[in-house]
Structure 1
Amino acid sequence: MKARILLLTAFLALTSCKREQKISSPEAVSISGLVQYREDRGTLHLKSGNFTYDITKNQVPFKKIILLNASMAGYIGELHAEDRIIGVSNPEYIYSEKIQSLVKQGKIQNVGSEQKYDIEKIISLKPDAIFTNHIASFDNTYQLLKNNGIQVIFLDEYLEQKPMEKTAYIKLFGKLLGKDREAENVYGNVEKNYAELKKLARTAKEKPVVLANEMYGDVWYLPGGRTSAAHFISDANAEYILKNNTDEKAVTMSFEEVFAKSGGVQYWINAGNHVSKKEMLGMNPFYGKLEVFSKGKIYVITGRENGQANDFFESGVVRSDLILKDYIKIFHPELLPGYQLTYMKALK
């Protein structure tokens, strides 16, 4: 009798355990501090910034999507899901040859621009979802789309300052497009490459000093010390002139302030989209006063451009490893002797 009671107790404990496992909420997947999602009882609960979404199982995977930002095309391209796109805004800013081909074939529609979206066309296309950065001044437009039963998902990946967190957005796109395995493979490969490249950079014998960005009018907008640019410079084992700054946004300085900090700078990166040092100097004669202009090396992010489209802002949002590889090649060319720059280009 005692044995039966013990057996019954053990059985009840086991079934209770199983029941608890079934009803317990699964852990959330954290993309970054801005974006997390979790699946619970057939619903995908997504938090992106200040916005939350409850996407039911019968709504996904999305088959028809519209992109209102060129950067998001990078994630779709890495998942080989261009055939899911039915509309884009400002197609002239999209670098992807496949998307451009689909636009020319009429399989992807031009739905306008940030100046004026073609709301009637968007509604007539009946997308499962629209992906866009949130712009407060467009809230009335977003509400009109929502009133017509269209899911508008705000993803502000441009705010992410840690390179691999920006890459991690591909996991969310994989979940929403039914391409989880493909997304995990892409992320895993980029993560592995990034870690190996970062380790390689640490073997360099020198740590060069770096200046970044350029002037607009009378103001130089430098990346803050905790921006993605600063992270890339640090991970490539170089020393950024604002390495001790703690801002996650641009820092404004006068030319005189930058000049005072630029002694010993060997590399100037992300220097706009200039075609030559001569053209650069013609636009701003002050640049000639910088030692790095005459004695150092200057790089721009125009290695993959096509008209107004720049792949640095497209596939580059996913391929953090390739961006890091470019910077390592620039700062420590001896570490990657056979590698040709992908997104960057040296100014002559």
Structure 2
Amino acid sequence: MKKSLVLIFFLALFLNCKDDKGNSRILPNLPNKDQGDLILNHAEGFSIQDYSSHKILTIKKPWPEAKKNSKYLIASKNELAQMTFEKEAYDGIITDSITKIVVTSTTHIPALELLGMEHTLVGFPGTDYISSEKTRQRIDNGLVRELGKNEGLNTEVLLELQPDVVIGFGVDGINTSFETIKKAGIPVIYNGDWVESTPLAKAEWIKFFGALFNKETEADSIFKSIESNYLNAKKLANKAKSKPTILSGAMHKEVWYLPNGSSPEAQFLKDANLNYLWGDTSGNGSLALSFEVVLEKAQQADIWLSPSYYTSYQQLEEASKLYTNFDAFKNKSIFTFSTTTGAKGGVLYYELGTSRPDLVLKDLIKIGHPELLENYNPRFFKPLQ
């Protein structure tokens, strides 16, 4: 009987240690009390388990068709030195005292700045796309190196910088530059904020950066403020007495692309109490419709939002006289975010809009229900010129 109990004990211990790659395989010498998961109210693409000696970051959906999770161990250098773990069980080992970071999407810039960690940014692919005045100043001072393009990073320069971690993004996970970087011992984490299905879910990825920089409390406080502002704006929109009809998008090679009704863009319109004419559709990606179908349904739409990259009525008409058939064109009721740019032409919406959905929502409320926000100046959307 005694031998059986001993056998059961060691069998249980073995099974607990011999976990698959989807779970922690840490056997630390330090106390290992689980502090619980990071609370996420909207985001679904990542999770964080917080222990007394380390954190485990799981990226669940970095791109739409991702098939597996990725695991990262985050701990201080001292804690890592005292731990016994299987390195192969993780996709990257990261210290929580990051002094140098490379990010690859403009959507990552606001998170660094909101957390007061913009000084850690040392490299970025396509620095001209960055609109933030604070980070542009660092670029102009030579503190942020140009790294080429996300699809083909200048790995020579990046390896010379020796960042503690690289935050990437991709539509399919195929990036030879990232593979080269990982082989050099620099961890690469795919950020999937853009895959989330709601504006608040995207914004909650600031907690991802909070975990990397050991600033969870600050990240939680920042997000709660943004969330509160968003929900209060949504309540305000519900007081509107009218519900303007909305057309969106424009044609590319005779195909009109516009958001499907289950997209974050459509969620903005719904929360702004606007009648998006394709709000009852669903699916992944954009809707692709013929001009005739769009004209039939939206010729009399009250407002036209985001007409692709066009910045003026003249550009629209020169691209296609068909656009002049819409009442929104005739009545000069078209609004775009393409004219709100940084010093080098980067579109501010693509940078800040993800982190500040509360500002985007207020813009849309101002456009559709101006009487509700009389003294508000839109941050992104402006009348087409």
Normalised to the residue count of structure 1, the TM-score between the two structures is 0.89
2:67 matched to 1:56? Answer: no
Q: Distance in 1 between matches of 2:326 and 2:380?
A: 25
Deviates more, 1:244-253 or 1:225-234: 244-253
Equivalent residue number for residue 92 of structure 2: none
TM superposition shift of 1:223:
0.2
Q: Match for 2:356 among 295, 306, 319?
A: 319
* One-letter amino acid of the counterpart of residue 53, structure 2: G
TM superposition shift of 1:44:
1.9
Q: Is the 8 A contact 2:168 2:190 kept in 1?
A: yes
Q: Distance in 2 between matches of 1:224 and 1:40?
A: 40
Q: After superposition, what is the alpha-carbon deviation per residue over 1:141-174, rounded to whole angstroms, capped at 9, x for unaligned?
A: 2222111110100012122220000110001111
2:138 matched to 1:91? Answer: no
**Correspondence 1:77-226 to 2 at 5 A:** 77-136=113-172, 138-226=174-262
Q: Match for 1:37 among 42, 48, 63?
A: 48
2:63 matched to 1:26? Answer: no
Deviates more, 1:160-169 or 1:272-281: 272-281
TM superposition shift of 1:248:
3.8
TM superposition shift of 1:299:
0.3
Q: Distance in 1 between matches of 2:219 and 2:384?
A: 36
* One-letter amino acid of the counterpart of residue 72, structure 2: D
Q: After superposition, what is the alpha-carbon deviation per residue over 1:179-227, rounded to whole angstroms, capped at 9, x for unaligned?
A: 2232122111111111110000000000111011111111111101011
**CA-based RMSD:** 1.8
Q: Distance in 2 between matches of 1:166 and 1:285?
A: 37
Equivalent residue number for residue 9 of structure 1: none
Deviates more, 1:33-42 or 1:187-196: 33-42
Q: Distance in 2 between matches of 1:344 and 1:210?
A: 14
Distance 1:146 1:242, change over 3 A: same
Q: Secondary structure at the match of 2:56?
A: strand
Q: Is the 8 A contact 1:26 1:38 kept in 2?
A: yes
Deviates more, 1:114-123 or 1:279-288: 114-123
2:371 matched to 1:334? Answer: yes
TM superposition shift of 1:135:
4.6
TM superposition shift of 1:304:
2.5
Normalised to the residue count of structure 2, the TM-score between the two structures is 0.81
TM superposition shift of 1:311:
1.2
TM superposition shift of 1:136:
3.9
Q: Is the 8 A contact 2:269 2:276 kept in 1?
A: yes
TM superposition shift of 1:322:
0.2
TM superposition shift of 1:121:
1.4
Q: Distance in 1 between matches of 2:362 and 2:114?
A: 18
2:298 matched to 1:262? Answer: yes
Q: Which has more helix, going by share of residues?
A: 1
* One-letter amino acid of the counterpart of residue 288, structure 2: T
Equivalent residue number for residue 46 of structure 1: 57
TM superposition shift of 1:63:
1.7
Equivalent residue number for residue 106 of structure 2: 70
Percent identity between matched residues is: 27
Deviates more, 1:158-167 or 1:51-60: 51-60
* One-letter amino acid of the counterpart of residue 207, structure 2: K
Q: Distance in 2 between matches of 1:296 and 1:234?
A: 23
TM superposition shift of 1:43:
2.8
TM superposition shift of 1:261:
1.0
Q: Is the 8 A contact 2:34 2:51 kept in 1?
A: no
* One-letter amino acid of the counterpart of residue 332, structure 1: H
Q: Is the 8 A contact 2:123 2:147 kept in 1?
A: yes
Deviates more, 1:257-266 or 1:144-153: 257-266
Q: Secondary structure at the match of 2:267?
A: helix
Q: After superposition, what is the alpha-carbon deviation per residue over 1:301-322, rounded to whole angstroms, capped at 9, x for unaligned?
A: 1353023301101111110000
Q: How many residues end up aligned between the 2 structures?
A: 327
